[in-house]
Structures are given as structure tokens and as C-alpha cells.
Amino acid sequence: MQPFVYRNDELYCEDVPVSRLAAEYGTPLWIYSKAFLRHQLGQIQQAFAAAEPVICYSVKANSNLGILQVMHEAGSSFDVVSGGELYRVKAAGADPTKVVFAGVGKTDEEIRFALENRILMFDVESEAELDAISRIAAELGVVGPIALRLNPDIDAKTHAKTTTGKKGNKFGMDIERFQELADKVLRDPHLELLGIHMHLGSPILTTEPYELAGRKAVEVVQSLRAKGHNIRWLNLGGGFGISYRQNEGPAASVYAEVIVPAAREAGCRLVLEPGRFVVGNSAVLVSRVVFTKREGGKLFVIQDGAMNDLIRPAMYDSFHRLWPVRPQVAMPENVEGEIPGCEKTDVVGPICESSDYFAKDRCLPPLKRGDLLATFSAGAYGMSMSSNYNSRPRAAEILVDGSSVKVIRRRETYADLVAHELPE
Ligand SMILES: *Cc1c(COP(=O)(O)O)cnc(C)c1O
């Protein structure tokens, strides 16, 4: 499914011309396709159906309430990494009893909030966290439902800043400590070990890391059962890759082929925590060209969208396709390398940082002041990582459904920028 297509030399989101939205709501502007969100979630629901999964959309990928509502209505549950995310899930009208809670630094307040809301389970990342959950569960007179997060020491072959399942990362624990903590849970009336959790990194474009993780999980689940644990859940996290360039992102069914058999062999129901796979390609970030300039032998296109909106290129060296909304040259399949009628361009924002760029030496059609430029695959870790750096109000977010348009976050104003500050 392709929600963003060029018709008559003009970019559309579903049935709505992107330039019309930019004219009406201003730029920079996030534009999401509801049909695509539903389609991606549906793909996962279908591909993994045999493992009776609870699909927990990973809130940190994009936490707008409008997006969470679409997910909830389509039957998704949620993976959270903070009390704030759990608050959002509840505000979206979802049922917290199917929520899983990961993260290495859960505070007492967050643990209490999650226990009071009867979440499905905590993904526990250390002994100190286990002790904290036990203590707070005892205070509340409940049993803390947990999965232990195993660091399986698997190289997911992704960016150094986005690998999480390799020895030396802060996430999870090695198998020796994992087994020690499992033993400790058996002696603790305020804890119940329900499952095993792994999250390997992101984005992962091959099935091999999942296959290795699945194999390890089967072993571990068997050993836990032998000790007397009633293990019901296998949580293999998120990390499914998507197509940022051409068609490099596998279908959900490709991952399912190696994951579903592991869940069945382990005799567990599956939990998955997909974020990027669901929202990544659901959105474009539309920016307007402010100026162009030639300097030092380079052509710079300076747009109003910047690293405070989309930090991925600065933070992870990420590649995003960029193309004009009304191009003079049709967008080719492959936007890397030389393109006839195009010129090597650095696309940058106005922020006072050299890392404020979206693309370097990228072949693009001619652009001039006032033109609109779309940044594709912007739905995941875009708005949710945005900031007000350089005192730039955050952009608006629009959800498109066929030909209907809904503002799911209004553009911030200058007054919003100082609303929480308390000067003398
Ligand atoms: C970030 C994260 C995810 C989601 O990763 P994606 O690559 O967006 O699918 C899932 N689980 C955990 C524990 C995470 O930290």
C-alpha cells in the first residue's frame, strides 16, 4: 500500500493534495495517512495470528493521541516506556490491562502508577528494578506481573545508537543474571514471572536476529518451566525494518515465518512491540524552501523544517527520501546517485547547528524560494523526538482519511513556547 503518490505531477496523501494542506495549515507540517496505519497494523495482526499475539504498538515511535486512537480502534494494545506514555494510552481510551512497560529506569511513581492500572506486565531490566516492583506491589497488596528482559547478545546489524540486544548495552541482562532473578521471583509472593522479553534493536531488515532470539527463547522458557514458573508470554519486542530507500523493508509475514514457530515451540502466546513498522511510512514532513544559496562550491536549500522537527539524520545519520511536492522531474525509484535534470543539493534547516540537515549531496530537481519539499518515512521517531530548540514552535499534525482531513495537533504558538516558564 502506498498512501503518498504523485498524480498529475503533484504529491497526494490518499485523496488530498499535499500542497492544499500546506497552504491551509502552514509549514513545516506532518501529514499522516490513516489507511496506511490500519494497513500496517493489519499486516502484523494477520501474519502473526497463529501465535495468538497481543500487538503492543510502541508508543515512543509516535505518541500523538490521534495516532494512539487509530491504533486502539484497530485492535492494538501498547508498549510504553514511561508513566507519561501510560497516561497517554489511557487518555486515548485504551485498556491499560494489556499494556507492557519496558525501560531501564522506571521510578517508584511510574511503577506504582502501572500497578494501580493493572498493566499486563513489566519488562524488568535489572535486579534493583525487580526489588522495587516487589516492594511497591507489597505496599499495594497486589502481585507484580513481570517478564525478565534478556540481553541475548545478538548483533542486529543496525546503527550503533539503535542496537539494544548486544552485550555491553544498558538494556536487559545476561542469561546468568536472568536465571538468578528468575529464582528470586520464585521465592517472592509479590511477583509472578509470566514471560520473557527481548528487544534486539531497530531497524532490523533481516530475519536472522529474530531466528536466533526465538531459538534462545525456546531454551530459556523450557528451563524456567522446569523450575516451576508458569511462563505464558514470549515478547520479542519490535524493530521490524521499513523501506526508507526503495523496497528494502520486508513484509510482516517474512518476520512471522521465523517468529511464529518459536512462539509455538515455546508454548507461549506472543507479544510484539512494533513501532516504526506501523507508523514510519505513514507520514511525510512537508517543509517550505526559505532560501537557496551557493557557497563553497555547494548548493544549499534552506527549508523551514529542521532538526528540532526531525532529528533522525542528525542523531542516527538516517536516510530519508526527499522530493518536491510539485516536482519538475518525476521521482525515480532510486533517489540515490545521479538523476538526469537534478543537481547535488544539501537540504538544511535554519537551526544554528552544522548537524541541522536532512540530506547531503542529494540529487534534487531545481528548487526555489516558496517551493514545498516532502520528507518521506517521517512518521516514526519524528514528532515524538521533536523539541523547541531555537525557540521554534512545534509543527502541526494532520491525519488524512480518504478525502477527509483532521488536525490531530495544532501548531504551537510563540505564547506556547513560554507558557510553562515562571519569570520574576
Ligand atoms: C523502541 C522500542 C520498541 C519499538 O521499536 P521499533 O523499531 O519502533 O519497532 C519496542 N520495544 C522496546 C522495548 C523499545 O524500546
The Cα-based distances of 34 to 11, 37, 38, 274 in angstroms read 17, 5, 6, 17
Listed residue (242, 420, 265, 400) closest to 321, CA to CA: 242
Report the nearest atom of ligand 1 relative to the CA of 274. 9
Question: What is the structure's pLDDT at 338?
Answer: 95
Q: Measured in angstroms, how far is the CA atom of residue 276 from the centroid of ligand 1?
A: 8
Asked if 54 and 107 sit in the same domain, the reply is yes
- DSSP E strands: which ranges in 82-204? 100-101, 121-124, 144-149, 191-197
Q: Give the end of a domain, one of 255, 276, 297.
A: 276
Q: Is the CB of 237 inside a 6 Å radius of any atom of ligand 1? A: yes
Active site residue 13: no
- Residue 123 lies inside a defined structural domain of this protein: yes
Question: What is the structure's pLDDT at 54?
Answer: 98
Helix residue ranges per DSSP H, 171-293? 175-186, 208-227, 252-266, 276-279
Asked if 285 and 301 sit in the same domain, the reply is yes
Is the pLDDT at 140 greater than 90? The verdict is yes
Band (167; pLDDT cuts 50, 70, 90):
confident
Please give the average per-residue pLDDT across 34-41, as a whole number. 98
- Residue 424 lies inside a defined structural domain of this protein: no
Cis peptide before 366 (omega within 30 of 0): no
* 8 Å CB contact between 343 and 363: yes
Band (112; pLDDT cuts 50, 70, 90):
very high
Asked if 161 and 112 sit in the same domain, the reply is yes
Asked if 229 and 295 sit in the same domain, the reply is no
The pLDDT > 90 percentage for the chain reads: 95
Q: Measured in angstroms, how far is the CA atom of residue 277 from the centroid of ligand 1?
A: 10
Asked if 41 and 13 sit in the same domain, the reply is no
Please give the average per-residue pLDDT across 37-62, as a whole number. 98
Asked if 234 and 164 sit in the same domain, the reply is yes
Q: Measured in angstroms, how far is the CA atom of residue 258 from the centroid of ligand 1?
A: 19
Q: Is the CB of 103 inside a 6 Å radius of any atom of ligand 1? A: no
pTM (whole model) above 0.75: yes
Query: Within a 10 A sphere around the Cβ of 6, how many other Cβ atoms?
Result: 16
Which domain covers residue 189, as residue numbers? 34-276
Q: Is the CB of 199 inside a 6 Å radius of any atom of ligand 1? A: yes
Residue 99: which residues within 8 A CB-CB, separation 6 or more? 56, 77, 78, 79, 80, 86, 89, 114, 117, 119, 120
Question: What is the structure's pLDDT at 214?
Answer: 97
Please give the average per-residue pLDDT across 382-402, as a whole number. 98
Question: What CA–CA distance (Å, rounded) separates 102 from 237?
Answer: 10
Q: Is the CB of 77 inside a 6 Å radius of any atom of ligand 1? A: no
Question: What is the structure's pLDDT at 138?
Answer: 98
* 8 Å CB contact between 347 and 373: yes
Question: How many structural domains does the chain have?
Answer: 2
Question: What is the structure's pLDDT at 158?
Answer: 80
Query: Within a 10 A sphere around the Cβ of 160, how many other Cβ atoms?
Result: 9
Half-sphere exposure of 384 (CA within 13 A, CB side): 24
Report the nearest atom of ligand 1 relative to the CA of 60. 1
Q: Please, what is the average pLDDT of the chain?
A: 97
Q: Is the CB of 137 inside a 6 Å radius of any atom of ligand 1? A: no
Report the nearest atom of ligand 1 relative to the CA of 277. 9
Question: What CA–CA distance (Å, rounded) separates 354 from 179?
Answer: 47
Question: Which residue is catalytic, options 13, 56, 352, 363?
Answer: 352
Question: What is the structure's pLDDT at 264?
Answer: 97
Q: Give the end of a domain, one of 253, 276, 299.
A: 276
CATH of the domain at 18: 2.40.37.10
Q: Give the end of a domain, one of 240, 255, 276.
A: 276
Asked if 240 and 377 sit in the same domain, the reply is no
- Residue 84 lies inside a defined structural domain of this protein: yes
Model confidence pLDDT, tens digit, residues 50-96: 999 999 999 999 999 999 999 999 999 999 999 999 999 999 999 99
Asked if 26 and 126 sit in the same domain, the reply is no
Is the pLDDT at 162 greater than 80? The verdict is no
Q: Measured in angstroms, how far is the CA atom of residue 151 from the centroid of ligand 1?
A: 14
Asked if 348 and 259 sit in the same domain, the reply is no
Provide the grid cell at 12: 497526494
Question: What CA–CA distance (Å, rounded) separates 182 from 148?
Answer: 8
- Residue 23 lies inside a defined structural domain of this protein: yes
Please give the average per-residue pLDDT across 363-383, as a whole number. 98
The residue assigned the cell 529506569 is: 105
DSSP count for the chain of H helices, then E strands? 12, 20
- Residue 116 lies inside a defined structural domain of this protein: yes
Please give the average per-residue pLDDT across 350-362, as a whole number. 97
Is the pLDDT at 168 greater than 90? The verdict is no
Q: Is the CB of 255 inside a 6 Å radius of any atom of ligand 1? A: no
Question: What is the structure's pLDDT at 196?
Answer: 98
Q: Is the CB of 33 inside a 6 Å radius of any atom of ligand 1? A: no
Sort 39 into a burial class: Cβ within 10 Å, 0-12 / 13-18 / 19+.
middle
Please choose from 80, 150, 171, 199 the residue to mutate so as to test ligand 1's pocket, defined by most ligand atoms within 8 A of CB: 199
Is the pLDDT at 215 greater than 90? The verdict is yes
Band (4; pLDDT cuts 50, 70, 90):
very high
Asked if 139 and 233 sit in the same domain, the reply is yes
The protein residue whose alpha carbon is closest to atom 10 in ligand 1 is 238
Model confidence pLDDT, tens digit, residues 271-280: 999 999 999 9
Q: Is the CB of 3 inside a 6 Å radius of any atom of ligand 1? A: no
Half-sphere exposure of 236 (CA within 13 A, CB side): 30
Please give the average per-residue pLDDT across 22-33, as a whole number. 98
Please give the average per-residue pLDDT across 377-403, as a whole number. 98
Question: What is the structure's pLDDT at 378?
Answer: 98
CATH of the domain at 137: 3.20.20.10
Question: What CA–CA distance (Å, rounded) separates 347 from 359?
Answer: 5
Question: What is the structure's pLDDT at 335?
Answer: 95
Is the pLDDT at 156 greater than 90? The verdict is no
The Cα-based distances of 365 to 136, 152, 361, 423 in angstroms read 59, 46, 13, 48
- Residue 423 lies inside a defined structural domain of this protein: no
- Residue 74 lies inside a defined structural domain of this protein: yes
Please choose from 124, 150, 202 the residue to mutate so as to test ligand 1's pocket, defined by most ligand atoms within 8 A of CB: 202
Asked if 163 and 268 sit in the same domain, the reply is yes
Residue 351: which residues within 8 A CB-CB, separation 6 or more? 306, 307, 308, 389, 390, 392
Asked if 106 and 250 sit in the same domain, the reply is yes
Report the nearest atom of ligand 1 relative to the CA of 239. 7
Q: Measured in angstroms, how far is the CA atom of residue 56 from the centroid of ligand 1?
A: 10
Q: Is the CB of 275 inside a 6 Å radius of any atom of ligand 1? A: yes
Q: Is the CB of 58 inside a 6 Å radius of any atom of ligand 1? A: yes
Residue 334: which residues within 8 A CB-CB, separation 6 or more? 245, 246
Band (163; pLDDT cuts 50, 70, 90):
confident
CA-based torsion, 220, 222, 226, 232: positive or negative: positive
Q: Measured in angstroms, how far is the CA atom of residue 321 from the centroid of ligand 1?
A: 22
Q: Is the CB of 202 inside a 6 Å radius of any atom of ligand 1? A: yes
Report the nearest atom of ligand 1 relative to the CA of 164. 15
Model confidence pLDDT, tens digit, residues 281-329: 999 999 999 999 999 999 999 999 999 999 999 999 999 999 999 999 9
